[in-house]
Amino acid sequence: MEINGKTRTCGLIGNPVEHTKSPVIHNTLAQEMGINMTYVPFHVAEGALEAAVRGAFGLNILGMNVTVPYKKDVIPFLAETDSLAGKIGAVNTLVRTESGYKGYNTDITGLLRAMKSDGISIKGEEVIILGAGGVGRAVTFMCAANQAAKVYLLNRSEEKAQSVACEVNQALETDCVTAMPLSGYQELVKTGERRYLVIQSTSVGLSPNDDDVVIDDETFYCCVKSGYDLIYSPWETKFMKLVAKNGGNAYNGLKMLLYQGIDAFELWNGCKVSEESADRVYKKLQESVRK
Digit-coded pLDDT (tens) for 75-93: 999 999 999 899 889 999 9
Digit-coded pLDDT (tens) for 165-183: 999 999 999 999 999 999 9
Same domain, 184 and 68: no
Residue 2 within any structural domain of the chain = no
Q: Mean pLDDT of all residues in the chain?
A: 95
Same domain, 121 and 240: yes
pTM over 0.85, yes/no:
yes
Q: If you average pLDDT over residues 43-68, what whole number do you get?
A: 97
Q: If you average pLDDT over residues 46-65, what whole number do you get?
A: 98
Residue 1 within any structural domain of the chain = no
Digit-coded pLDDT (tens) for 275-287: 999 999 999 999 9
Those residues with Cβ within 8 angstroms of residue 107's Cβ, 6 or more apart along the chain or in another chain: 90, 92, 135, 138, 256, 260
Are 72 and 49 within 8 A, CB to CB?
no
CATH classification at residue 199: 3.40.50.720
Q: What is the reported pLDDT for 127?
A: 98
Q: Which of 206, 205, 202, 244 is CA-nearest to residue 225? A: 244
Tell me the C-alpha distance between 285 and 89, whole Å. Answer: 28
Same domain, 231 and 119: yes
**Active-site option among 71, 102, 238, 255:** 71
CATH classification at residue 43: 3.40.50.10860
Domain that holds residue 208: 109-252
Q: If you average pLDDT over residues 222-238, what whole number do you get?
A: 95
Same domain, 78 and 164: no
Those residues with Cβ within 8 angstroms of residue 144's Cβ, 6 or more apart along the chain or in another chain: 151, 168, 169, 172, 174, 176, 177
Residue 68 within any structural domain of the chain = yes
Same domain, 118 and 81: no
Q: If you average pLDDT over residues 225-242, what whole number do you get?
A: 96
Same domain, 172 and 69: no
- Active site includes 123? no
Q: What is the reported pLDDT for 289?
A: 85
Same domain, 228 and 280: no
Q: If you average pLDDT over residues 31-38, what whole number do you get?
A: 96
Digit-coded pLDDT (tens) for 187-221: 999 988 889 999 999 999 998 999 999 999 999 99
Query: How many domains does the structure of the chain reveal?
Result: 2
